[in-house]
Structure 1
């Protein structure tokens, strides 16, 4: 870890070509003094981003540099051990992390879980390390109100809710990518917004 960095954050999805790299890009941009990496439970090492996610990230400031360098990486015990906080796309990846490294449970949350837990702790002091944040969030398990899964009905003005998961757009209809980007962006906004001063860092890059 480089000098001045407050911790190592690992984002986990299935293939590491869509959900986790998109979240990692947004988190790394907003929290520049935290090391952010992404991996996939079933990733094939060396795969590029899916074309939809590459196009979406390329549209954002600093996106092209990120997409040109990203290759998928498979989750392993070493990456779990190295991380101070682990955020997963869904309960499935959260379980996979815990199965591979049972001792990692206290520092592993879905991205949405972490967002709502961090909001309960807001404002998070800028000097707080990720290890300390993980411990505080772990102490809140079961007492933080989390979103419930809800499908969007025809003609409903409301967004669908996927509970504490970010849906996998590579299972079924690829048009779900917009739901992925919206769910990830919303969760990252909540998580980043809980850090005192972090929003200034995000705004400065836009």
Structure 2
């Protein structure tokens, strides 16, 4: 797949989608990756438990602030990764032009929803991060630019 821009979407845009954004940015340099929420905590910072994991994992998210998804943001991205089936449906209902490029972040794995860790324990934040890291790794493997095949010279 030759994708130049990815949008990660969750509900509040302060936990799951920033994690996915940070992981994809780290794993796919050169790809434009950002995030937004369908019910964003506009201007909100990541909760302390989420921020601590991001720092420990060396994800560049210290300046992240929640933002609400808009049709303009959607138009700027070729691929949209959501955390829950309900978010995929929400986007399709409100932004029909996004259909066909919105996928669950778990698409290549178990196709399960990624639960929202907001207002849960630090341990739950860790569990969610580990699951997201696996799902994002699958996407990164699919999206990583492949080097051109070499033809043997005889």
Taking structure 2 as the reference length, what is the TM-score of the superposition? 0.85
Number of residue pairs aligned between Structure 1 and Structure 2: 144
Q: CA RMSD in A?
A: 2.0
Structure 1 unmatched ranges of 5 or more: 117-145, 148-162, 199-206
Work out whether residues 9 and 84 of structure 1, in 8 Å CA contact, stay in contact via their aligned partners in 2: yes
Query: Structure 1, residues 163-191: CA drift from partner, whole Å, max 9, x if none?
Result: 421111126x4342122111101101122
What is the deviation of 1:81? Answer: 1.6
Question: What residue number does 2:113 align with?
Answer: 165
1:103–1:60 distance in 2 versus 1, CA, 3 Å: same
Contact 2:39–2:68 under 8 Å retained in 1: yes
CA contact (8 A) 2:9 2:83 kept: yes
Partner of 1:191: 139
Higher helix share: 1
Partner Cα distance (2:48, 2:83) in 1: 19
Counterpart of 1:95 in structure 2 is 89
* Residues 80 and 97, structure 1, Cα contact 8 Å, conserved in 2: no
Partner residue, 2:152: none
Do residues 9 (structure 1) and 6 (structure 2) align? yes
Q: What is the match of residue 37 of structure 2?
A: 40
Shift of 1:193: 2.3
Cα deviation, residue 196, structure 1: 5.2
Per the alignment, do residues 87 and 196 of structure 1 end up closer, same or farther by CA in structure 2, a change over 3 Å counting? closer
Q: Compute the displacement of 1:34 (Å).
A: 0.7
The alpha-carbon distance between structure 1 residues 51 and 98, as it changes in their structure 2 partners (threshold 3 A), is same
How far apart, CA to CA, are the structure 2 residues paired with 1:41 and 1:165?
A: 15
Q: TM-score, normalised by structure 1?
A: 0.64
Asked if 2 retains the 8 angstrom alpha-carbon contact of 1:89 and 1:165, the reply is yes
Q: Is the 8 A contact 1:8 1:82 kept in 2?
A: yes
1:36 deviation in Å?
Answer: 0.2
Query: 1:81 matched to which residue of 2?
Result: 75
Matching residue within 99, 102, 110 for 2:104? 110
- Whether 2:129 is the aligned partner of 1:181: answer yes
Gaps of 5+ in 2: 147-154
